[in-house]
Structure 1
Amino acid sequence: MIAHIIFRLVIWFLLTANLSVANIIIGVSVALLLPRGATSPTRLKELLQAIWKIVQAVPQAYSEAIQLILQPHTQEEIVMERVKARRTPGLIFLDIFLITFTPKTTVLKYHEDGWYEVHRVCRRKQP
């Protein structure tokens, strides 16, 4: 319980970037009033794996940005990627964030039947 409140307060202070007394009171109030959702250990494990993938995507994003600067990518393609089975809306959001975080890919649309429509840029294909 305390961990959830502290986590919500940290998110609040990161979003507002304000440590005034009034903002602290508002942050504590929001942290206490927001309902706490039930999480199963399996979903928590999936959430931690998704967060770890996002942390790993940071160097990949820098690498792709440098590649785009040094080597032009002139080809585009739209591909369909399958959503992993039994994903919660929060995990689907993290998947979309992970795909869109890197400069070469963007999720154009999430299809309710379990597919992401992904736009990718790639280098010119040699004949």
Structure 2
Amino acid sequence: MTGYLNLILRLVIWFLLTANFSVVNIIIGVSVALLLPHNHRSRAALKDWLRALGEIVVAIPQAYIEAFQIMLRPHTQEEVTMERVPPRRTPGLIFLDIFLITFTPKTIVLKYHEHGWYEVHRVRRRKA
């Protein structure tokens, strides 16, 4: 089941990059998604994928809220923190984690460390 989710993730990325839904582009996208190397040994649990998709649903309204907060009240404090990568993450789930962190206006992933850490830049309101 998670193999299909990896394939769908690759197709979604392809369509976001090309912004073209013609028959030829769909055929090329499916071909590219199938030809990219797969890691058959590391199987992500369906539970991890469903949790990540649930976090995406929550991140969309959070992004709008943060955008309005930045417009209405200045955020002048910046900090760089290290966040631990959850265990047993496949490359697809790591991509989704980085996407979620970067999707919200107040945070961006600066670097993914192979030892299991994300370097995250955040903006915050100045503390009184």
TM-score (ref. length: structure 1)? 0.74
- What does residue 52 of structure 1 align with? 54
Does the C-alpha gap of structure 1 residues 111 and 70 become closer, same or farther in structure 2, counting only changes over 3 Å? same
Number of aligned residue pairs: give it: 122
- What does residue 119 of structure 2 align with? 117
Question: For structure 1, which segment, 48-57 or 24-33, has the greater mean C-alpha deviation from structure 2 after superposition?
Answer: 24-33
**Distance of 1:32 and 1:75 partners within structure 2:** 44
Residue by residue over 1:3-55, the C-alpha shift from the partner in whole angstroms, topping out at 9 and shown as x without a partner, is: x5x958x74666443335x4455456557766776585x52221121011011
- 8 A contact 1:100–1:107 mirrored in 2: yes
Gaps of at least 5 residues in structure 2 are none
- What does residue 21 of structure 2 align with? 18
- 8 A contact 1:57–1:102 mirrored in 2: yes
Q: CA deviation at 1:65?
A: 0.1
Q: What amino acid sits opposite 1:108 in the alignment?
A: L
- What does residue 75 of structure 1 align with? 77
Residue by residue over 1:40-76, the C-alpha shift from the partner in whole angstroms, topping out at 9 and shown as x without a partner, is: 5x52221121011011100000000000000000000
Q: Larger Rg: 1 or 2?
A: 1
Does the C-alpha gap of structure 1 residues 74 and 85 become closer, same or farther in structure 2, counting only changes over 3 Å? same
Residue by residue over 1:66-118, the C-alpha shift from the partner in whole angstroms, topping out at 9 and shown as x without a partner, is: 00000000000111111111211111111111111100001111111111111
**Distance of 1:112 and 1:56 partners within structure 2:** 27
- What does residue 64 of structure 1 align with? 66
Q: CA RMSD in A?
A: 3.1
Does the C-alpha gap of structure 1 residues 19 and 49 become closer, same or farther in structure 2, counting only changes over 3 Å? same
Gaps of at least 5 residues in structure 1 are none
